[in-house]
Structure 1
Amino acid sequence: MNNERGSFGSRLGFILVSAGCAIGIGNVWKFPYITGANGGAIFVLFYLLFLVIMGVPVLTMELAVGRASGKTIVRGYEALEKPGSKWHIHGWFCALGCYLLMMYYTNVSGWMLNYFYKFATGKFNGVATEAVGDVFGNMLANPNEMGIFMTLTVLFGFGVLLLGVENGLEKVTKVMMIGLLVLIMVLAIHSVSLKGAGEGIKFYLLPSLERAKEVGFGKVITAAMNQAFFTLSLGIGAIEIFGSYMSKDHALTGESIRICALDTFVAIISGLIIFPACFSYDVQPDQGPALIFITLPKVFINMPMGRVWGTMFFMFMTFASFSTVTAVFENLVAIITDTFGISRKKSILINCIVVFVTSIPCVLGYNLWSNLHIIGGRDVLDSEDFIVSNILLPVGALIFLLFCVSKHGWGFDNYLEETNTGEGMKMSKAFKTYYKYVLPILILVIIIQGLVQ
């Protein structure tokens, strides 16, 4: 293993960095809305089920490939595959997926940082409720404003990595994740204590067969399957790298469950921030960016000490998005270091330039290039997101799965031995049939559904 790559200093560091990679903006703007739209608690129950039967297995597979090989994704496949086979080609698609993800994620993380700055410096003071949407629209229309905050995200992210894995990525992520967990609890306690918050809590967490029937149980189940799968960012090797930094002390099933539990905790508590606040101020919880950048700022500017609560919320969102950015940056840096044998510092410099330049189209996609529509009428950001979310993630997860269970790949026995090495919860051999014949069909359903939509 390339000695420049380092390793984690502690088990907690591994869990927090891996969870930080999985925890992102989707936990906050996607999970609560989808939950509300799909029958509340009924959706949550299905989501938890699919997290256990789909998310955890594929997560153990990515980690097992990383830990068994001690290398990043391309070299990891090469180390474990049978001579003459071509599984490692998928490693290059994983690298492409990570670059594509960062092409737009650096921008969205920049939006969070921008709004944190706006609330902290009082830019929302005196803004009329009906003008809140204009603040977001003006930001998107201004390439300089977008570019500055994207650049800060890129520079700070790679700056953290210059300090190394243990002293940079691990230490900074620990601070961010602990800060994130404290902030989310404070915000949730505040939200549920608002006048009229009870209706929002009922809407979110009380099972409603009526609402589930209205949506259709089939849709509720497939929505839960999708969300459980995508929340962990599996399929592009983003988590595999952290397997290569792990010790052999602990079995992978228990570690995967801990990562999933942290990710789910953040998603569910986010709903306790959003629904009570929206119901309390009679605001419709919209989907996607509008929820974060228009709906919630309307709530904050109308509540007592709104500037403080808005600042805290966007600090939480900055931590959530930036923990993903630094984790994926580390993957890119390690891939270049491992694959081409160059120094870590050179890899950081190359990647910093590449990510900065490739993030510019997304900056321009809402202003100077606003007429540019690529995939099915989507703008630059949505096109990049479509390729990653609907193609590279689910197809990649299917390839990881087949590699780990097929005799033509690494093989189930090798995967199981690696997964069960160390103390803690073990994976049963009884799952072999399920992993070989049922799980691939479930992932295929997600792929087909994503492409049809």
Structure 2
Amino acid sequence: MKKRESFNNKWGFILACIGSAVGMGNIWMFPTRVSIYGGGSYLIPYFIFVVLIGFTGVIGEMSFGRATRSGPIDAFGIAMEKKGKRKLGELLGGIPVLGALAMAIGYTVVMGWILKYMIGAFTGSTLSPEDIDGFASSFGGMASSFGNNAWQIIALAIGITILMFGVGNGIEKANKVLMPAFFVLFIILAIYAACQPGAIEGYKYIFRIEPKVLADPKTWIFALGQAFFSLSVAGNGTLIYGSYLPDDEDIPGAAGRVALFDTIAAMLAALVIIPAMATAGAQLNQGGPGLLFIYLPCLFKSMPGGYIIAILFFVAVFMAGLSSLINLYEAPIATVQEKLGVGRKPACAIIGVIAVVVSICIQGIVSDWMDVLSIYICPLGAGLAGIMFFWVCGKKYVETQVNTGREKKFTEKFVPICKYIYCPVCLLVLILGILLGGIG
């Protein structure tokens, strides 16, 4: 039997997991929601949900992957094998795998946009429009059907090339560069924003607490959605990374570090973007691609040293996006390896060809594509993984796997909390997403 790939060391794994969690949600959604939902009034429920999901779902998916030494399809199959229903388990395991592939394909479109703007920051084209309408027109042309083919293919090629080098020499080494560089660049940007006149109003905005907003159910609902999707619990990427872990890894400790650094990344984004908007006297009420590709470039153009700021910003965003992209593609690539019995490079090539064709075809509908995945498939995948591990595998099995590699036994309340709080939360995220048109 061929030896399974693995991470070279503890921090290589943790940085890879941080890379999977730190992405566009931290940068183009978190600051907006902090602004809209009352600053500190939003941060309080957000921190609560990060702790809840980080110490239930993230630990569970990492442990499930390590226990089965496989991707979602075989992991679900192994869980159901004792019930005599392995085929059903494998069929259900296909849901998060296909979800990861579809999400990666949609993310590829976004990465094409980011790469074009990053290169344009160096050449000057990113900041060349004269006004907000010009920035909107420039983005609209790029984001239309077949509007950015070349940059998109290049972004995908970079991600697939990293994946071809494997777990230790590809994913791990890439994240050891991408994640430290991302944090350093955003710290520099945060310091720059702090030095701008009027930035203090932005900080007041971030840390204010309004009891009325804190009591509003919508504040809690969207904080839950942000935490849930930011921590990448979907039954795919975190699970497959866990499958590469050695038995001496302390998974609860690793999950805590991932949750911590993901939260720091989100806060850094808020500490850059909200004070920057405050210096211009602008209200931050625009999230998603519009913030990243229209409003912020327009703001950078008007700021002292805006050319340099745009370069730092889009390089950092590209690094965050690339780390998430390779995580999303890893689950389908590993599945092709396991199910077709092919090597890593042929598996990467197969997935890469599929991704090129589909991502080019969905450029004009990528927003709707990603909405369907975030509303239905991601919470469904997370919920199925939770049910398989915490309900089907049983308490004794779960406790054994979670405590493997630990010097001190993890809390005995872990399994009940996961069964009766985390799993229902996954269902709640699914239902609320359907009712509200998405909360992630």
Q: Normalised by the shorter chain, which TM-score bucket? A: over 0.9
Q: Please give the alpha-carbon distance, in whole angstroms, between the structure 2 residues aligned to 1:235 and 1:47.
A: 18
The residue number in structure 1 matching 2:95 is 93
The residue number in structure 2 matching 1:375 is none
Q: Please give the alpha-carbon distance, in whole angstroms, between the structure 2 residues aligned to 1:232 and 1:98.
A: 14
Q: Please give the alpha-carbon distance, in whole angstroms, between the structure 2 residues aligned to 1:80 and 1:436.
A: 16
Contact 1:119 1:307 in 2 (8 A): yes
The residue number in structure 2 matching 1:437 is 420
Q: Please give the alpha-carbon distance, in whole angstroms, between the structure 1 residues aligned to 2:409 and 2:272.
A: 36
- Bigger mean CA offset, 180-189 vs 160-169: 160-169
The residue number in structure 2 matching 1:376 is none
The residue number in structure 2 matching 1:158 is 160
Give the secondary structure class of the aligned counterpart of 2:152. helix
The one-letter amino acid paired with 2:425 is L
Correspondence 1:135 to 2:138 = yes
- Deviation, structure 1 residue 426: 4.4
Q: Please give the alpha-carbon distance, in whole angstroms, between the structure 2 residues aligned to 1:141 and 1:439.
A: 39
The residue number in structure 2 matching 1:353 is 353
Q: 1:433 to 1:298 in 2, by over 3 A?
A: same
Q: 1:195 to 1:355 in 2, by over 3 A?
A: same
The residue number in structure 1 matching 2:33 is 34
Q: Please give the alpha-carbon distance, in whole angstroms, between the structure 1 residues aligned to 2:408 and 2:142.
A: 48
**How big is each residue's C-alpha offset from its partner over 1:105-139, in whole Å with a ceiling of 9 and x where there is no partner?**
00101111111111111114553123222221222
- Deviation, structure 1 residue 100: 0.9
Q: Write out aligned runs for 1:292-371 (5 A).
A: 292-363=292-363, 365=364
Contact 1:104 1:385 in 2 (8 A): yes
Q: Please give the alpha-carbon distance, in whole angstroms, between the structure 1 residues aligned to 2:46 and 2:161.
A: 36
The residue number in structure 2 matching 1:208 is 210
- Bigger mean CA offset, 95-104 vs 51-60: 51-60
Contact 1:25 1:320 in 2 (8 A): yes
- Deviation, structure 1 residue 331: 2.1
The residue number in structure 2 matching 1:370 is none
- Bigger mean CA offset, 384-393 vs 436-445: 436-445
Q: Which runs of 5+ in 2 are unaligned?
A: none
Contact 1:235 1:393 in 2 (8 A): yes
Correspondence 1:230 to 2:243 = no
Q: Please give the alpha-carbon distance, in whole angstroms, between the structure 1 residues aligned to 2:89 and 2:429.
A: 22
- Deviation, structure 1 residue 247: 1.2
Q: Please give the alpha-carbon distance, in whole angstroms, between the structure 1 residues aligned to 2:168 and 2:346.
A: 19
- Bigger mean CA offset, 44-53 vs 79-88: 79-88
**How big is each residue's C-alpha offset from its partner over 1:165-201, in whole Å with a ceiling of 9 and x where there is no partner?**
2112211121011110110100111111110001011
Identity of aligned residues (%): 29
Q: 1:252 to 1:125 in 2, by over 3 A?
A: closer
- Deviation, structure 1 residue 79: 3.0
**How big is each residue's C-alpha offset from its partner over 1:302-334, in whole Å with a ceiling of 9 and x where there is no partner?**
111111100110001100111011122222211
Q: Which runs of 5+ in 1 are unaligned?
A: 366-379
The residue number in structure 1 matching 2:183 is 181
Q: Write out aligned runs for 1:50-449 (5 A).
A: 50-83=49-82, 84-85=84-85, 86-124=88-126, 126-130=128-132, 131-141=134-144, 143-144=146-147, 146-210=148-212, 212=213, 217-285=216-284, 286-363=286-363, 365=364, 380-406=365-391, 409-423=392-406, 426-449=409-432
Contact 1:118 1:124 in 2 (8 A): yes
The one-letter amino acid paired with 1:393 is C
- Deviation, structure 1 residue 383: 2.5
Contact 2:398 2:415 in 1 (8 A): no
Contact 1:251 1:426 in 2 (8 A): no
The one-letter amino acid paired with 1:433 is P
Structural RMSD (CA): 1.7
Contact 2:25 2:226 in 1 (8 A): no
Contact 1:251 1:422 in 2 (8 A): yes
- Deviation, structure 1 residue 164: 2.1
- Bigger mean CA offset, 216-225 vs 261-270: 216-225
TM-score by length of 2: 0.94
Contact 2:21 2:230 in 1 (8 A): yes
Q: 1:440 to 1:181 in 2, by over 3 A?
A: same
